[in-house]
Structure 1
């Protein structure tokens, strides 16, 4: 990532940096990043849903991404009820995990989270 050269630092009352003003276009670039960084693993929110609420990986990822079952089903080209069955499965087949991961925009290994 490049550091903007056109920015302003605003210090707090103690004289320590508290805010940085950047050009609006740069702000849009910085805030329009993907919710998931595929090289950094699984977000803690997904892990919390998996272990605290005992969700399947498919459901945890779907909820993290803010998608409905119907939206996921449409991405996969299946019915909502078929997607619901897929989501309730603890260990979908590898081919199914690959299709689901592709539809969600994540790596297939990010759906294989349970021992």
Structure 2
């Protein structure tokens, strides 16, 4: 978008909560939206550090999100012992398992792939 937009900022409790822009500008933003690709996958610094130390991405994300193995396993519909094996890289996860883990942690599957 080449035009400067002055959005209307709506605050809640003194903090910005919403930005209102003209409809045509919104439509242009939608039209010019670029689909995400692998280069758009982000990782918090703490997850990267843990992965560089040797932790699996599953373990690094779980600890970053402050979940126990039991909590994550329950959310993902699996046994804690199975999650432990995945975190220790003793087994390769199935795609369906990665999908369940990603959903349970609120992240994308791409964020669990090395």
Q: Same fold (TM over 0.5)?
A: yes
Identify the TM-score tier after normalising by the shorter chain.
0.5 to 0.7
Relative to 1, partners in 2 of residues 1:111 and 1:40: Cα closer, same or farther, differing over 3 Å?
closer
* Runs of at least 5 residues in structure 1 that lack an aligned partner in the other structure: 6-22, 30-38
Structure-2 residue corresponding to 1:20? none
Structure 2 distance, partners of 1:63, 1:96, is 18
Calculate the TM-score normalised by the size of structure 1. Answer: 0.61
**Structure 1, residues 82-114: CA drift from partner, whole Å, max 9, x if none?**
22112222742222211111111000000012x
Relative to 1, partners in 2 of residues 1:71 and 1:26: Cα closer, same or farther, differing over 3 Å?
same
Relative to 1, partners in 2 of residues 1:95 and 1:43: Cα closer, same or farther, differing over 3 Å?
same
Structure-2 residue corresponding to 1:71? 71
**Structure 1, residues 25-48: CA drift from partner, whole Å, max 9, x if none?**
528x6xxxxxxxxx6611111000
Question: How many corresponding residue pairs?
Answer: 86
Structure-2 residue corresponding to 1:26? 15
Structure 2 distance, partners of 1:26, 1:64, is 26
* Runs of at least 5 residues in structure 2 that lack an aligned partner in the other structure: 1-6, 18-39
Structure-2 residue corresponding to 1:17? none
What is the RMSD computed on CA atoms of the aligned residues?
Answer: 2.7
Structure-2 residue corresponding to 1:11? none
Calculate the TM-score normalised by the size of structure 2. Answer: 0.62
